[in-house]
Structure 1
Amino acid sequence: MKGYRLAFNKKAWDHPARAYANIVYDPNSHVEGVLYRLEDEHQIRKMDPFEGAPRLYSREIFSIETVHGYIPSWVYIANKATLVEGLRPDRWYLDHLLAGREHLSEDYYHKLTKVKTNPGE
Structure 2
Amino acid sequence: MNPARMQARGLYFHTARSGSLPGYRLRFNKESHASPGVAYANIEPFTTSSVEGVLYELADPAAIALMDGFEGTPVRYSRECLHVHTAQGLELAWVYLANPAFINNQIIPESRYLAHLLAGEAFLSEAYMQQLQSQDCLPSEIIEGEAGLKFNV
What range describes the TM-score normalised by the shorter chain of this pair? Answer: over 0.9
After superposition, residues 63-102 of structure 1 pair within 5 angstroms as: 63-102=83-122
Select the residue among 62, 72, 81 that pairs with 1:42.
62
Q: Is it true that 1:32 corresponds to 2:52 in the alignment? A: yes
CA distance in 1, matches of 2:114, 2:40: 9
When normalised by structure 2's length, the TM-score is 0.76
Counterpart residue number, 1:2: 22
Work out which structure has the larger RCO, using CA pairs closer than 8 Å and 6 or more positions apart in sequence.
2
Q: Separation in 2 of the partners of 1:63 and 1:71?
A: 5
CA shift, 1:41, in A, is: 3.6
1:80 aligned partner, one-letter code: P
Note the alpha carbon deviations across 1:2-33, whole angstroms, 9 max, x for none.
Answer: 00010000000011110000001101000111
SS of equivalent to 2:30: strand
SS in structure 2 of the partner of residue 76 of structure 1:
strand
Of 70, 74, 78, the residue aligned with 1:58 is: 78
Gaps of 5+ in 1: none
State the secondary structure of the residue aligned to 2:57. Answer: coil
Say which of 127, 138, 153 aligns to 1:107. Answer: 127
SS in 2 for 1:36: strand
What's the CA shift for 1:102?
1.4
* Paired positions, count: 120
In the TM superposition, what is the alpha-carbon distance from 1:40 to its structure 2 partner?
4.1
TM-score by length of 1: 0.95
Question: Letter of the aligned partner of 1:17 in structure 2?
Answer: G
Query: For structure 2, which runs of at least 5 residues remain unmatched after alignment?
Result: 1-20, 141-153
Q: Please give the alpha-carbon distance, in whole angstroms, between the structure 1 residues aligned to 2:90 and 2:119.
A: 25
The percent of aligned pairs where both chains have the same amino acid is 45
Q: Which runs of 4+ in 1 moved over 3 A?
A: none
Alignment-mate amino acid for residue 26 of structure 2: L
Measured in 2, the distance between the counterparts of 1:100 and 1:38 equals 17
Supply the distance in 2 between the matched residues of 1:42 and 1:100 (Cα, whole angstroms).
24
